């Protein structure tokens, strides 16, 4: 969905700057695995007593 943005170094730098959850000194842009890990958690037995919860996997964008 965002391959064109991920291929643009200027867009990557802006994305790193704008993401509140910066992991490491040089920033971090989410990888598909970050979303997949949340989906795997929701599909696991660890959530057997959960329902109606919203999980936001956005590096803190909605928090600021």
Check: pTM over 0.85? Answer yes or no: no
Reported confidence tier of residue 64, pLDDT bands at 50, 70, 90: low
Which pLDDT band holds residue 39 (cuts at 50, 70, 90)?
very high
- The vertex-40 CA angle with 43 and 27, nearest 5°, equals 145
**Six token digits for residue 24:** 């490491």
Q: Is the dihedral of CA 56, 60, 63, 64 positive or negative?
A: negative
Check: CB of residue 55 under 8 Å from CB of residue 34. Answer: no
What pLDDT was estimated at residue 2?
75
Residue 28 has a pLDDT of 66
| pLDDT confidence tier of residue 44, bands split at 50, 70 and 90 | very high
Residue predicted with more confidence, 44 or 5? 44
């Amino acid at each position: 969905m965002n391959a064109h943005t991920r291929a643009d170094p200027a867009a990557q730098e802006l994305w790193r700057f704008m993401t509140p959850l910066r992991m490491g000194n040089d920033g971090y842009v989410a990888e598909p695995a970050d979303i997949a890990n949340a989906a795997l958690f929701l599909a696991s037995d660890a959530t057997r007593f959960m329902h109606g919860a919203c999980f936001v996997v956005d590096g803190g964008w909605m928090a600021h």
